Structure 1
Amino acid sequence: LAARLADAAFFYEEDRKIKLVDRLPRLETLVFQEKLGTMRCKAERLQRLAPAICRVLGGSAQECATAERAALLSKSDLVTNMVFEFTELQGVMGGHYAISDGEDPAVAKAISEQYRP
């Protein structure tokens, strides 16, 4: 158990050296689905779609901007060491890293809650 916790601490410190936004290019290396492109393509589609959905739901300009930013960064934690090693932390770690990167807390919350039902 101590070794796993030490690994997690190491991964966290290493991951914090690269911001989520700077991880976007690495999403090109993860295939979402063969005919639908990479995880970066998916994140960019979500980025375009989120503000439109937000406006339909009556969101404010600020809420729609938050949704757009969260959508763009939503998959960036998939290329972190922590999520690679502990896959069940996808989304959760993205939220933590977003806070560490200085992102708006609402963006971090959206990232961390994206997999909830």
Structure 2
Amino acid sequence: MKSPIFIDGNCRFCRFCAKVLRRMCGDKIQIEFQGSSLYQTYVLKYPDPLWEVDSIKIVQKDKVWVKSQAIERVLYLAPWYYQILRIFFLLPSRVLDKGYDFIAKNRLIWGKSVDACEL
């Protein structure tokens, strides 16, 4: 079964990240943007306060993962040659989440987006 991954924005940077995830994991994942009907179904099916967090989300084994933990879960689905990236997850999740928040906060600058992110 494909693991659903929910991306929170629809700006150029968010679409680029979704494209990278598709290349990394292929048909093992299903990428949806928040606001889709599948997203609403999962929110109702798996009640969790983490749905309120503005972040990438992945649902695996009836649990919702966000921010750096979600990215770590995605890397488990990637082929062996991407597994070297998991070395970053030796850092404390608090530090990784701060890095995630920094990137999320500045994504419009890096994406040089003509179309603004909906967040």
Name the structure with the higher helix share.
Answer: 1
Q: Which is greater in Rg?
A: 1
Name the structure with the higher strand share.
Answer: 2
Per the normalisation by structure 1, the TM-score is: 0.32
Q: Which protein has greater RCO, CA pairs closer than 8 Å, 6+ apart? A: 2
